[in-house]
Chain A
């Protein structure tokens, strides 16, 4: 087996992985970095992010506002000290990207422009038209090319981590082009493999978003935190689930039902006004908007099509010119995929799974409980999203915490000694044998596509926008059964060169474990909070019993063991999550109260 000796190994080369790699390279050029990705970096799913990245810039905005929006948006399940750090470093990271060439949209005077986004009190979303993720990813990738200490392992599929002496010491990967295995020794490891949205049926995610890194850490005993919180994005293409950015609404788009009525005003988000008001109506948070869709559907006020119910995203009043300038990709998607000119007709949309709020348990330094193992980006749970992420916080997250992970992994690597290669080699050989057993002498009977479809369907039934105890229980049972059947998974392709069927089989193994962590975590949370909404006996938030993080710890072949951890509350105690006019009234009341408190 080929061996590469690195100081820091980074698994995943999307926004977070690249930012981490650059951080290590800048911190200490002597540290050797192995950057491992199952695709070429520019294919990573960061590329598909559209709307933008949050960072306070306007004079009438403040870090405290960003903090408040984020914590309340997350329904108080955020680590408040980590959110403090986050909001204080977003803008600096956005400026850093600007210095590296990111083509942020500008104001006439040459300064960076910002736009409104859901759940954000003041405009603070930096954007590059509606291709923000694309530009951020390419900027980071191209910038990374100048650092000779980064050795990339493009199209190398990670099959296991090396853990020796109770700490992470590297990874084992398949070189996809040849089918050969590579052992990458490292003194610290950063996981930055993104989310797991593909465990659901209708989703906005690319095919590669299969929770690989989450499953890798989980298998080595690292808990997955808050996995029940899965975000449905309210405006997606029926059938494919492709995303129409929240920026459509930030720019002034309306959501209307089959009668042309702006139905969000019926769900505590009003009043309906002709121009967007922040944190109201179409600029409410994603969980609330997806839930409102569900009720409209129940009331029979949606539009029925071949891919189920939909509502209309109406952008006509923005006009051709503004649409082309601010939302060019949205126009392209609507026209090429649906034959709709958004300047002339509304776009049918429905919610689809978009983002995994939970992930690998890490502290504010991106360190997991396993020494030497760090995680950043969507695969991690650093604690800023709580029970519901606000749009434009995740693109900032990959930069802020990509850097934190890189910095801390570099420090760890500088003080750590590597284990003798022979013991690591033994582990790598075992990982190779396990992976190869899927293709050598495979006598399986279960087709990958069948298992995958059944997994996605049961996740959608049990862990959708609204959840029921017995449905979730059924999903948990079905996932246990699917994991059993997975032991007999069938792989037809026995070749070595670019064997994608083999990789799909390994990915499915990752997905089933992550799905199980989600479903069992959901079943056990007996309350409703953020993206986890129950329609049975637990319709309300229950701070007395569930102002807690869920921790799912692997128990081998069986379902995870569930435990709970405390939520760090520094200065914003749980309050009512109110939007629209009700939200403004609540803000005014709390302002009056704090003024009263300050009076002599």
Chain B
């Protein structure tokens, strides 16, 4: 989790939403790290988790072999990616994400078990939450006090009479 937080701090320095992650194999070796790069790349799919998966390159792993440590609950997109890539056996995350969370907040991983689709390709990992959550929230808090310079200005809400 220290590695993931370190990645998140790097993301914050680059002006990104500070989320970082690390992929650890069964021997405790870190095989890849990733941090959010959505602003830098102008690509909404460049979340920390997907960046880390990209960094794995063409390496091969067994089903459910790796543990994913991520500072913030993976969003619906990343959770779907984790299930489909099949190599993640366990997700350990810090704070939960009520806006986008795909591991219990907005959507749950159960829907992949229940749908009966995906076949042998997917693997639904177990989840541990709340690890170093306070630190992760603090990092996010630091970012949002600065606000995302690239996001479009929100529409002003009409004041109700």
Bound pair (A, B) = no
